[in-house]
Amino acid sequence: MSAAVAKQARTIALIGNPNSGKSTLFNLLTGLRQKTGNFPGITVDIKRGRFSLPSGREVELIDLPGAYSLYPTATDEKIVTALLTNPADPHYPDAVIYVADVTHLEKHLLLLTQLLDLHLPLLMALNMADAAKDIGLKVNTTKLSEKLGIPVVLISSRTGENISKLLSELEKLLEEKKEQPASFYSLDEREKSVSEAVRLNVGADDPYRALLLAHHHSWLPSLTEQARQTIAAIVSEKQFNSLKHQVDETLSRYDQFTPIVRQTVQHPPRFPSTTTDHLDTILTNQWIGPLVFLLVMLLIFEAVYEWSSIPMDFIEASFSQLSSLLKDYLPEHWTTDLLTDGVLAGLGGILMFVPQIAILFFLITFLEEVGYMARVVFLFDQFMRQFGMNGRSIVSLISGGACAVPAIMSCRTIGNWKERLITILVTPFITCSARIPVYIVLIGLVVPDQRVLGIFSLQSLAFTCMYILGVIAALGTGYFLKKVLHTRESSYLALELPVYRMPHWRNLWLTVWEKIFAFIWEAGRVILVVSVILWALASFGPGSSLKETETRVRAMASARGLTPAQTEDLVAAQKLEASYAGHLGKAFEPFMRPLGYDWKISIAIFTSFAAREVFTGTLAILYQLGSAERDISDPAENEAKATLRQRMREEKFADTGQPVYTLATALSLLVFYAFALQCMSTLAVVRRETGSWKWPLLQFIFMALLAYLSAWGVYNLFV
């Protein structure tokens, strides 16, 4: 049934330049009825959603990446050209909503006229109506519609102004199935010759689409190898200079639509100095700007650490109480142990850190919405070039503070191959949300909860230092790669700075919800699988070793006169050591002991290669299994189970009796997790983005060696 409905739904593509307000309009129309998926043939994630037209008819909306023209300069822009040059694609749109910023209309018409020359049913959503009113700009939409030959609706995706009119015009467009006439560019004789040859030998339904195939045949995923070779032969035979014709076409189109803008858009007599102008004198200043940025980042880290303490404690206590409650009411059986010591302990070890992640996502998205992040790109462009990257790299690195996977995928906006590769390789050094659980636990163990200057806590400053350490590692590695990698590609930054505005709160919350849900879903599945496997490894052992261990330990406890609670603790600890998990940890322990780690930490490091956040869940399970519940009949033992940090403080080496989690060990672990690439998802996306296993393998080996040697050095320095 769902498949049939999917086929009947008409597909609408949302297309426009970056910063045109496409995403805000997409969220306004689709709400929570949206999902993100990989687009076939190109490694770009596309947002798709559904909404209803005034008649009640449901349509599917595809939010394509922002693009400036059908001659893309970045990887994510290529999807627009790839889709529109392939009418056979199942996602080829039945109509297009072209979103343009009315306050910068001339810059947004190049791509529009190219779409018109492809005969696409199209209407233009002239966005930012609220901003136009604020600056006194007026536009004659009726005359503009006549000149372009398409419906034009002045809207505001932030306030919802004229959205109902936009949907009515869209429904009319779908019913009429009217194709727009090509009238903005005339092919010269050479282009006509190339276009006709491509149409005859490869097939294309109109001259301009055939010309685009000639321009982009080397990378279009829809072309067969035979078609690619055929077009290459035509281009060579006709001596077709692609770059020259792109420049000529662009200039010709500007000659066509620039007069239209002048005739239909009325600017105020003189633009007054705006709030944006005043703020930019400070925020883009080469000296003040970086200081403001560092202060903003420090406040973000302080908020992540401080605001989340209450919900964190609540989640941790809730899981602990739920586990105790289930053990009291469920029968003693291995399934009860699996549920409480496996599933709940593992999920509790990760879900308690969702508040920090949610706050981080919210604040970063807020900065993007208000327009500040674009200034950061501009501000740090020259600085980043010293380390083999450019200003756009700063967006990927900052996004890496949430998750390295989408951050690496965002590198597609970097046109230069070398700068894109360096950014991909160094982004995992940036402290991601998956590292937050590890940092929170370890910093809480060894850093006192004291205030500095009555404002910042020592723990939040230590947390900030971990971010700084990751940034230093990323920049240092970038500088090294800049000297090692060589390319002849030139690099430049083309960026439009949006005006500052208050965020669209609905758009912001939808974005945060989407990222949080994706994080919980992805991490939750990994945690669940790893937790069940780990519980099984910790609950069973070779042969009858666990039963023999229990018998031996109980006899020893009886001889020593231990209390029931002490006996149960000792039995649980010894059984864990005799289990499969204990054997696995002990196999790794000789290699990890120079860093100050015992066999339990070795297991946690091993399992966290699936995902870093598994580290805390693994320790929660191991210490849950390694320490039995106190005997509530004994007043001296009448207290709830210890929290994860309390159990870690009590942990001792079996051979020396010394505490495991000393300052040296905790700092060593912090450094290890700051540098090690313990994320299979990151390796997979690096493989996908680079097209080779060479780069992720080199990346993994380099980061692993750096992590081990640095952790060893720190441990021996503080031991």
Higher pLDDT, 414 or 15: 15
Gyration radius of the chain's alpha carbons: 30
Find the range with the poorest average confidence among 376-385, 427-436, 619-628, 707-716.
Answer: 619-628
How is residue 681 written in tokens?
Answer: 């998802």
CA 75 centroid distance within chain? 16
Mean pLDDT of 613-642: 51
Q: Are strands 456-457 and 45-52 parallel, antiparallel or unpaired?
A: unpaired
- Greatest mean pLDDT among 34-43, 586-595, 705-714 lies in 705-714
Bridge partners for 16 per DSSP: 99
pLDDT at 445 exceeding the cut of 60: yes
Identify the pLDDT of residue 453.
67
How is residue 458 written in tokens?
Answer: 């020592």
Other CB atoms within 10 A of residue 334 CB: 13
Identify the pLDDT of residue 488.
62
Higher pLDDT, 497 or 330: 330
> What DSSP character marks residue 643?
P
Q: How confident is the model at residue 661 (pLDDT cuts 50, 70, 90)?
A: confident
Q: Is 12 helix (H, G, I), strand (E, B) or coil?
A: strand
Residue of 338, 281, 344, 320 whose CA lies nearest to 538 = 338
Identify the pLDDT of residue 351.
73
Higher pLDDT, 289 or 272: 289
pLDDT at 573 exceeding the cut of 80: no
Question: How high is the mean pLDDT of the chain?
Answer: 80
Identify the pLDDT of residue 36.
54
Q: How confident is the model at residue 486 (pLDDT cuts 50, 70, 90)?
A: confident
Residue of 428, 466, 442, 446 whose CA lies nearest to 353 = 442
Higher pLDDT, 494 or 26: 26
How is residue 183 written in tokens?
Answer: 């009238």
- Greatest mean pLDDT among 54-63, 559-568, 637-646 lies in 54-63
pLDDT at 50 exceeding the cut of 80: yes
Kindly write down the DSSP assignment for every residue of 95-147, as one continuous string: EEEEEEEGGGHHHHHHHHHHHHTTT--EEEEEE-HHHHHHHT-EE-HHHHHHH
Identify the pLDDT of residue 626.
54
pLDDT at 58 exceeding the cut of 70: yes
Sign of CA dihedral 187, 193, 195, 196: positive
- Greatest mean pLDDT among 390-399, 406-415, 420-429, 489-498 lies in 420-429
pLDDT at 508 exceeding the cut of 50: yes
pLDDT in tens, 510-531: 777 876 776 676 556 665 676 6
- The CATH homologous superfamily of the domain defined by 2-176: P-loop containing nucleotide triphosphate hydrolases (3.40.50.300)
pLDDT in tens, 395-421: 778 777 767 776 787 677 676 788 889
Residue of 185, 207, 187 whose CA lies nearest to 198 = 207
Identify the pLDDT of residue 305.
64
Find the range with the poorest average confidence among 240-244, 364-368, 636-640, 646-650.
Answer: 636-640
Q: How confident is the model at residue 140 (pLDDT cuts 50, 70, 90)?
A: very high
Q: How confident is the model at residue 632 (pLDDT cuts 50, 70, 90)?
A: very low
- Greatest mean pLDDT among 403-407, 543-547, 624-628 lies in 543-547
| Proportion of the chain above pLDDT 90, given as a percent | 19
Identify the pLDDT of residue 634.
40
Containing H/E element for 397? helix 391-399
Mean pLDDT of 470-476: 93
CA angle 583, 605, 359 (to 5 degrees): 145
Per the listing, tokens 């900052």 go with 398
Q: How confident is the model at residue 678 (pLDDT cuts 50, 70, 90)?
A: confident
Answer for the pair 681, 611: CB distance below 8 angstroms, yes or no.
Answer: yes
Identify the pLDDT of residue 346.
67
The domain spans of the chain are 2-176, 185-240
Containing H/E element for 306? helix 288-306
Identify the pLDDT of residue 639.
38
pLDDT at 630 exceeding the cut of 60: no
Identify the pLDDT of residue 523.
55
pLDDT at 125 exceeding the cut of 60: yes
Q: Are strands 122-127 and 152-154 parallel, antiparallel or unpaired?
A: parallel
pLDDT at 297 exceeding the cut of 80: no
Higher pLDDT, 371 or 498: 371
| Proportion of the chain above pLDDT 70, given as a percent | 83
Identify the pLDDT of residue 95.
92
Identify the pLDDT of residue 493.
61
Identify the pLDDT of residue 7.
44
Identify the pLDDT of residue 643.
63
pLDDT at 341 exceeding the cut of 60: yes
pLDDT in tens, 172-217: 988 876 655 657 888 888 888 988 998 888 877 788 999 999 999 8
Q: Is the pTM of this model over 0.75?
A: no
